[in-house]
A and B are shown apart, each in its own frame.
Chain A
Amino acid sequence: MANRDITCTVNGRKRTFSVDIRSSLSDMLRGQAGLDSIKHGCDVGECGACTVLIDGKPFNSCIYLALWAEGKDILTLEGLSDTKGTISDIQQAFIDEGAVQCGFCTPGFIMASVPIITKDEPSSREEIRKQIAGNLCRCTGYENIVNAIEKTQKKRIAEKKK
């Protein structure tokens, strides 16, 4: 099958990958770019473990053709840490709130929560739940995940007001 060069921005860096045109975005990013935060969970768009942001919106990278990524701006969990590798506030909040148990779903949840924590207005817990409804966690029971997101959102809003 034909290979194709796909150029896109991944975690702030412009990169080109030579991919089989039948690849999913998760194949490209995990398999070729080595971004292991992307999990192949269900591979059919139900569990959210492969969630990445494309132009700021969450997508299941397992059901997204790699070639659709041409020219797009992609953010994965690896892109949340700073250049020294220090983790971001939302990642720290997941640790502090006990929102991580086995950890398999965590990168997907954190990526799905990025659009929530960057909002200017506080979200209700119900709204947070709606925004993470495309992600499954079989360990935590979700409460601590909602706590971590809520806490980070509040903190960021308070910082903006300073």
Chain B
Amino acid sequence: MYNFNKLYEPASVEEALQLKKDHPEALLLAGGSDILIKIRDGKLSGCDLINIYDLEELRGICLEEDGSVLIRPLTSFTDVSMHPVIREHVPVLGEAVDQIGGPQIRNIGTIGGNICNGVTSADSASTLKAYDAMLELASVDGIRLLPYADFNIAPGKVDLREGEIMTGIRIPKDSWEHTYGDYIKYAMRKAMDIATLGCSVNVRLNKDKTAIDRLRIAFGVAAPTPIRSFTAETSAKGHALNEALLEEVANGALADVMPRTSWRASKEFRLFRLQLVKELARRATKAAVEKAGGKFNG
């Protein structure tokens, strides 16, 4: 039995938005794999909930007319990783969310919940950052579009204003077209673990596949919130495919990150995490370039 107080049960997004406006203190309940556990723990006991898990209009993935990949927020990690649109256009996102928890957690956990929690370790976050995702945030007053780049304010805090519900995650065509990506999660265990560091890279090569046309790289757990490394991206632009490229990306990444210490990582461990930043940046870049058909010289 869960010790929550009121349970609001909207039958549509419209009703959910009205409820969220009327009861700003009530929490949105999606898959519940964080909220229900916090209720059980006592951290959220007695809270009010708006159950949106049954709203089918917030579930599913499609390719829109303008070529954007639209992911509705209640889509489970399993459904994200299995979906043909994801597999064809942004396979790295499917590979990233396939590393969350175990099968049972991937069936209940939702991609919207993953990023609205605002934790730096969210496995979908770095890939969505690296693909410059756009968020659709709805309220009774209308829809606000926000780059995911601007969404995380502080650990556990995101730019969801009072009365707002996330209703869509879009990856624009320009972001995914002709790109190849790679995600590396470093954790203590292969499953049921939270990332010590996560790194997502996607690259677009030039026409003859000899140089980087565009590289995008983002990290989870390398800072209090998921972050992009623009220094690494700038230094990679136009770079030939060689060892120096990997070194530039690794050093650029190191310049931008700010890992903190936590119960999962002591002070000494921070140094290890900085080493991981360089190493994962190198490896993910190399893997992405190779997936794109690029060959390394020297």
Tell whether A145 is near chain B: CB-to-CB under 8 Å. no
Interface residue tally on A, bucketed by range:
20 to 34
Among A1-48, those with CB < 8 Å from B are 20-24, 27, 43-46, 48
**CB contact between A46 and one of B53, B107, B192 (< 8 Å): that residue:** B192
Closest to B191 in A: A133
Cβ A45 vs Cβ B105 within 8 A: yes
Whether a CB of chain B sits under 8 angstroms from the CB of A57 is yes
One of B78, B107, B190 near A133 (C-beta < 8 A)? B190
Contact between A60 and B40, CB atoms less than 8 A apart: no
Q: Quick check: is B24 within 8 A (CB to CB) of the other chain?
A: no
8 Å CB contact of A134 from B2, B36, B40, B101: B101
Q: How far is the CB of B138 from chain A (nearest CB, A)?
A: 23
Give a binary string over B277-293; 1 marks a CB under 8 Å from any A CB, 0 the rest.
Answer: 00000000000000000
Chain B: how many interface residues by the 8 Å CB criterion?
A: 26
Chain B, residues 79-112, CB within 8 Å of chain A (1/0): the string is 0000000000000000000000111110110000
Pairwise interchain contact A63-B103, C-beta atoms closer than 8 A: no
A112 touches B1 (CB 8 A): no
Interface presence of B225 (CB below 8 A): no
- Least distance between B76 CB and chain A CB atoms (Å): 9
The residue that B191 contacts in the complex, of A21, A57, A68, A134, with Cβ under 8 A, is A134
Does residue A94 face the partner (Cβ distance < 8 Å to B)?
no
Query: What are the residues of chain A within 8 A of B33 when measuring CB–CB?
Result: 45, 63
> Quick check: A51 and B104 within 8 Å, CB to CB?
yes
A65 interface hit (Cβ, 8 Å):
yes
Residues from chain A with a CB closer than 8 A to the CB of B32 are 63-65
- The answer to whether A104 has its CB under 8 Å from any CB of chain B is no
Please give the distance in Å from A126's CB to the nearest CB on chain B: 10
Interface-central residue, B4, B7, B54, B104, by most chain A CB under 10 Å: B104
Q: How far is the CA of A43 from the CA of B2 in the complex (A)?
A: 11
Say if the beta carbon of B51 comes within 8 Å of chain A: yes
- B residues near A65, Cβ cutoff 8 Å: 2, 29, 32, 36, 51, 53
Chain A interfacial positions (CB closer than 8 Å to B): 20-24, 27, 43-46, 48, 51, 54, 57-60, 63-65, 67-68, 112, 115, 130-135
